Structure 1
Amino acid sequence: MSVGAPRGLASSGQKPITDIIHPLCAADEPLSPGPQVTVSTGRDKDNGMTNGTPVETSSPASASSLLNRLQLDDDLDGDASSETRDLFVTVDDPKKHVSTMETYITYRISTKTTRIEFDLPDYSVRRRYQDFDWLRIKLEDSQPTHLIPPLPEKFVMKGVVDRFSEEFVETRMKALDKFLKRVADHPVLSFNPHLNAFLTAKDLNKRQGLALLTKVGESVKYVAGGYKLRARPAEYTAMGEYLDSFSGKLGTMDRITQRILKEQSEYLTELREYGSVYSSWAAVEDELQRPLEGVASSVSTCCRAMEELSENTSQDFLPVLREYVLYIESMKNVMRKRDQCQAEYEGRLEAAVVRRQEERTPIPADVEKCQDKVECFNADLKADWERWQRNKRQDFKQLLTGMADKNISYYEKCQSAWESLITVLQEKQTEDKSILRQEEPFYQAPPVRY
């Protein structure tokens, strides 16, 4: 095993993985995707946002009920930091490199640690996106029983998004930083030698690879042969249903947010033109100059506030939604591997039972090995599921709180701008009344004759 420390799975209540893996688990052939396995879930209903626990609930009728269902409680903050951290990584300082062959961006990876697996306490290296992609592939190959955090999507549509723009690079840098922090905080993935090489090697030789003695996942080859699972265990069925439901909700939120951003962009275009009309009008209207300039100033303030709100939505809100869409795909991939492992075990067990009945032979050792592999998958998946749920609650707590703050700030700025215009109009009205009084002729009543 390449775990390096008995930290994993402590939060899930499971035994350490070293106590579960059968001694023969590391002697099989390398992992291959294997054939597709059909899983009979037995239920197709959408059970809502229930963290994988099937309960019958209706859609939230109010914002408060939604927050309650997401469990955004302050006491959850302690759960995410309960594990002792001794590895800190940061992704920053993007730099553009231009050569005759290609143009690309590199990012600085800064590492601070007290672990004995590292020769030095501090490291600083530069990596490009494909290096991060290499790391994730290596982690997925060597630790297939664990949930590997997703990377931001690699490809962008040419002509639609400039991948060298400051906004795009900043958004990608934040996503890469989050990916690396999640890996470094994981009690098993953080001890992977590939991560060590990624954080410390000045020149990352991806072609050479590393000779590793990895855990059970890399040494397993699934030979289910199209075997159909009798039934996925209820808890994993509930997980799958939750992921499908959550994915649908995220997709709807993403589409609506995109439409809102498009409408805000069109609104901003009209609002800028609207404000410029008042500015040009004020230049030729001496009597109304101050009120017209006040309207133009208020409109301009609203434009800037709307720009900030849209920028926050596109750079902070949308990336989190897309990250969790990719996270769901990663979780489903791990669950498919677990199902393949279970299918292999069931297939071999049935064959062994038939042979035992016919030939009266003992259950072969490879059946016990397959059972141990299933237990490994189950233990690791449960631990990562709980960790993912904690991270999700924290991320969405920050996301929704930030969205509320940004919207409040937007409306406060707009309100303040228009209130200042009222003050200008009142001053103008008082000034006009004063001038009118001064211009009125003095009126003297005629004498009264008796």
Structure 2
Amino acid sequence: MSVGAPRGLASSGQKPITEMLHPLSAAEEPLPPVPDVSDRGDKESGLTNGTPPVEASSPACTSLLINRLQLEENLEADARDLYISTETKDLFVTVDDPKKHVSTMETYITYRVSTKTTRVEFDLPEYCVRRRYQDFDWLRIKLEDSQPTHLIPPLPEKFVMKGVVDRFSEEFVETRMKALDKFLKRVADHPVLSFNPHLNSFLSVKDLNKRQGLALLTKVGESVKQVAGGYKLRARPPEFCAMGEYLDTFSQKLGTIDRIAQRILKEQSEYLTELRDYGSVYTSWAGSEDELRRPLEAVAGSVSTCCGAGDDLSENMSQDFLPVLREYVLYIESMKNVLRKRDQSQAEYEGRLEAAVLRRQEDKTPMPVEVEKCQDKVECFNADLKADWERWQSNKRQDFRQLLTGMADKNIHYYEKCQAAWESLVTLLQEKQSEDKGIETN
């Protein structure tokens, strides 16, 4: 066939389209391990993407659990080495230094985007530009239009972020900056998206001309909608059905965790408010009891220490834990969007193929070139989506390992600080008791 493979397939180590062509009715190339979400029950809670679920262990089996986690980390590190061996890290991007701009027309925040690279596509080895949120949004739109077969990382929502009202507050800006930095790093690390010319412009051009081409829709997308609009897809291949079911299950679990985490955060806030009131009572009491002043002040100090540790724990949940959950909720929507585009492409191919078969039976005409091009397009979609699915699963495992490990460390640190505070109070009370006994003896 005359249609060549797009640039991304060669970059990601996949076969050219002409080597992968086969009828859709034939057995497709097996997808890398995808969870059997139809087998639910106890296994459903694992969401291990094909890996054996970790059995529940008692507190006495801590060493066994640690060894098992270390084994999983080694296996995943080996998997990531496969990406490292085929991808050269030669593009580094960072988003930092937010600045507020106030004008008569609007108020907005810009972020510094720093780039270091050795790629020949760039004229200079280093760039430093300032971008606002709508510039990142422009980049994502252009990536979706020009790379419809690939999963585009999500951006943080423009205005709505749970627990934050003022979008110019320090907390909001810091959280958004981290999300934008993660978005840009994911794009820069992708073997196909990182070579997109729109990314090059975003990183290097001082003033983006976002109007140019922004109103133009992807012609491929338009043709797919027109041809596939009246055709019902026969059947999504099993591996992509498994993807869709996995995303539905994963979305439900993230939603449940998010709701519970929000409730915990609210209850923690109420608890800390009451705990501060509780500590202030001991402070005021110490002012009227000379003999009990030291123990009462120590109690107030222990309560204050617990409040500070609780604030740190709540801040970690609101600024580090919840944003990652929300990012993956948006990631799921992006993945579902790519799956829908893949289905549209398959529906276009099936519609054209069915029409061509009918015409061929009537007048013995050869198979139109458009049908072969549509088959190429479907195979391209399948190959790119499978590769991006693997990459997404690998990133997800790494992100959630870091997220849960960080949450465990924060909770351990919280309880250690609280324990140390109350243990110091016990020591003081014991010293006070010894002093009182000495006075009575004398």
State the TM bucket, normalised to the shorter chain.
0.7 to 0.9
Pairing partner for 2:189 from 185, 192, 201: 185
1:294 equivalent in alignment to 2:298? yes
Which residue identity does 1:437 align to in structure 2?
T
Q: Which has the larger radius of gyration?
A: 1
Q: Which residue of 1 aligns with 2:31?
A: none
Distance 2:258 2:415 in 1: 23
Aligned-residue offset at 1:51: 5.6
Pairing partner for 1:407 from 393, 406, 411: 411
Structure 1's 348 and 378: CA in aligned 2 closer, same or farther, altered over 3 A? same
Distance 2:65 2:132 in 1: 39
Aligned-residue offset at 1:158: 11
Aligned-residue offset at 1:79: 4.0
Distance 1:2 1:135 in 2: 24
Partner SS, residue 114 of structure 2: strand
Pairing partner for 1:114 from 100, 115, 118: 118
Which residue identity does 1:293 align to in structure 2?
E
CA deviation vs aligned residue, 1:23-62 (integer Å, no higher than 9, x gap): xxxxxxxxxxxxxxxxxxxx97757354655x9x999745
Partner SS, residue 228 of structure 2: coil
Which residue identity does 1:77 align to in structure 2?
A
Q: Please give the TM-score of this superposition, normalised by the length of structure 2.
A: 0.86
1:9 equivalent in alignment to 2:17? no
Quick check: 155-164 or 233-242, which moved more? 155-164
**Superposition pairs of residues 164-179 of structure 1, within 5 angstroms:** 164-179=168-183
Counting aligned pairs with the same residue, the percent is 75
Question: Is residue 143–residue 217 contact of structure 1 (8 Å, CA) maintained in 2?
Answer: no
Distance 2:163 2:332 in 1: 29
Distance 2:414 2:320 in 1: 16
Distance 1:353 1:273 in 2: 79
Tell me how many residue pairs correspond in the alignment. 411
Q: Which residue of 2 aligns with 1:34?
A: none
CA RMSD of aligned residues (A): 3.1
Distance 2:254 2:160 in 1: 20
**Superposition pairs of residues 192-231 of structure 1, within 5 angstroms:** 192-209=196-213, 221-222=224-225, 223-231=227-235
Aligned-residue offset at 1:74: 3.6
Distance 1:154 1:18 in 2: 42
Q: Which residue of 2 aligns with 1:246?
A: 250
Distance 1:110 1:17 in 2: 36
More RCO (CA 8 Å, sep 6+): 1
Which residue identity does 2:206 align to in structure 1?
K
Quick check: 249-258 or 71-80, which moved more? 71-80
Aligned-residue offset at 1:226: 2.7
Question: Is residue 52–residue 240 contact of structure 1 (8 Å, CA) maintained in 2?
Answer: no
Structure 1's 334 and 253: CA in aligned 2 closer, same or farther, altered over 3 A? same
Structure 1's 239 and 399: CA in aligned 2 closer, same or farther, altered over 3 A? same
Aligned-residue offset at 1:7: 5.1
Question: Is residue 164–residue 172 contact of structure 2 (8 Å, CA) maintained in 1?
Answer: no
1:283 equivalent in alignment to 2:296? no
Aligned-residue offset at 1:357: 1.4
1:376 equivalent in alignment to 2:380? yes
Aligned-residue offset at 1:3: 6.5
Aligned-residue offset at 1:73: 1.6
Q: Which residue of 2 aligns with 1:140?
A: 144
Question: Is residue 153–residue 186 contact of structure 2 (8 Å, CA) maintained in 1?
Answer: yes
Question: Is residue 47–residue 250 contact of structure 2 (8 Å, CA) maintained in 1?
Answer: no
Question: Is residue 163–residue 169 contact of structure 1 (8 Å, CA) maintained in 2?
Answer: yes
Quick check: 343-352 or 311-320, which moved more? 343-352
Question: Is residue 159–residue 167 contact of structure 2 (8 Å, CA) maintained in 1?
Answer: no
Q: Which residue of 1 aligns with 2:73?
A: 73
Q: Which residue of 2 aligns with 1:352?
A: 356
Q: Quick check: which one's helix share is greater? A: 2
1:429 equivalent in alignment to 2:433? yes
Partner SS, residue 73 of structure 1: helix
Aligned-residue offset at 1:275: 0.4
Structure 1's 427 and 175: CA in aligned 2 closer, same or farther, altered over 3 A? same
Partner SS, residue 90 of structure 1: strand
